[in-house]
Structure 1
Amino acid sequence: VYNATKFAVRALTEAMRIDLLGTGVRVTSIDPGMAETEFSSVRFKGDETRAKGVYAGMQPLSADDIAEAILWSLDRPAHVNVQEILLMPTDQASARDVFRK
């Protein structure tokens, strides 16, 4: 279900960008990599030791990092649309490739 919802969000974003073409409305997709949120706590049903283990040995993104990217995209001139931002911690190269110290 997780992957299907990610695909649905991408499809919706691309469709909105096409449907809103010419209106001046900008549509941006921001895809963060590993970010320290409550997601892992929920995933592991409140087991904080397991949740923190997800980020062990690496520095994940913070909510502030993602917010800064959002603000940056909004601060572009009106004629500029940032189509998408793929935001990763420097310790992460892909969904499965993470460097841990």
Structure 2
Amino acid sequence: MARIYLNQIAHGRSGDKGDTSNVCIFAREPKYYEIIKREVTIERVKEHFGDMVKGEITRYEVPSLNGFNFVMKHALGGGATHSLRLDSLGKSMGSAFMRMKIDVDEKE
């Protein structure tokens, strides 16, 4: 087993609407889809973001695009106009998501 950053096998797009962050994760190659499906669970995402995401996290699977859409509520400190965070917009959440560490079998 090896521990890697998610960005080694995936890329993402992200945005925000109010206090909700939306991050889409796409496998860099179709063979990575199942690894992401196994490793990037709602529980692991909650653990990764900790107290930063205070609300519900929903994961939508999009196998036709080899991707996943994560919607994280109460994740931006109230939203861009209410937060005291230096950069509360959803774009920074996408970058933070890519720094999530996952376990992969070196044969995968």
Instruction: Give the TM-score normalised by structure 2.
Output: 0.28
* Structure with greater helix percent: 1
Flag the structure with more relative contact order, 1 or 2, with Cα contacts below 8 A and sequence separation at least 6: 2
